[in-house]
């Protein structure tokens, strides 16, 4: 017994089109976030009590910068996916839903770009 629609069976998709792919991307980013957040917390705790210059130097080091960039990318993408699910499930007006998805996309992009810029600026000594 299949829960796919006939058209979905022909296309090889379920009734919600890319729902399982979305599900797995959200799970993958959540698994990636666990060690990245742990490393982030360790780095933040190790920088407590240090001056701005020392912390900027620490964040600007290649290994820490790569960890922070990976966390930013993974966390922002996870946030984007999660908000998209919430919008699709709980916003009922089609126009409002489309507008909310557009705002979610731009908001996630702006947050991600700003955070990546800040890390790269510290990393390259700006």
C-beta atoms surrounding 68 within 10 Å: 22
C-beta atoms surrounding 114 within 10 Å: 11
**What residues have CB less than 8 Å from 66, skipping those under 6 apart?**
none
d(CA 114, CA 108): 10
Cβ pair 30, 78 in contact under 8 A: yes
Identify which of 65, 77, 57, 60 has the alpha carbon closest to the alpha carbon of residue 39.
Answer: 65
Please say whether the dihedral angle defined by the alpha carbons of residues 27, 79, 48 and 54, taken in this order, is positive or negative: positive
Fold of 21-123: 3 helical TM bundles of succinate and fumarate reductases (1.20.1300)
What letter would DSSP give residue 3?
Answer: -
Torsion of CA 7, 102, 26, 64, to 10 degrees: 150
**Stated pTM of the model:** 0.82
- Predicted confidence (pLDDT) per residue in 8-45, tens digit: 566 655 555 567 898 999 999 999 999 999 999 999 99
- Predicted confidence (pLDDT) per residue in 66-103, tens digit: 999 999 999 999 999 999 999 999 999 999 999 999 99
Q: Where are the domains of the chain?
A: 21-123
| Residue 75 tokens, joined | 């966390």
């Amino acid at each position: 017994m299949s829960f796919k629609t006939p058209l979905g069976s022909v296309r090889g998709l379920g009734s919600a089109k890319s729902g399982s792919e979305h599900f797995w991307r959200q799970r993958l980013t959540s698994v990636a976030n666990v060690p990245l957040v742990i490393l982030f917390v360790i780095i933040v705790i190790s920088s407590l009590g240090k001056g701005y210059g020392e912390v900027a130097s620490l964040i600007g080091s290649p290994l820490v910068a790569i960890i922070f960039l990976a966390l930013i990318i993974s966390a922002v993408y996870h946030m984007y996916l999660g908000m998209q699910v919430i919008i699709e499930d709980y916003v009922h007006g089609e126009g409002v839903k489309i507008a909310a998805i557009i705002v979610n996309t731009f908001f996630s992009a702006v947050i991600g770009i700003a955070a990546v810029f800040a890390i790269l600026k510290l990393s390259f000594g700006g």
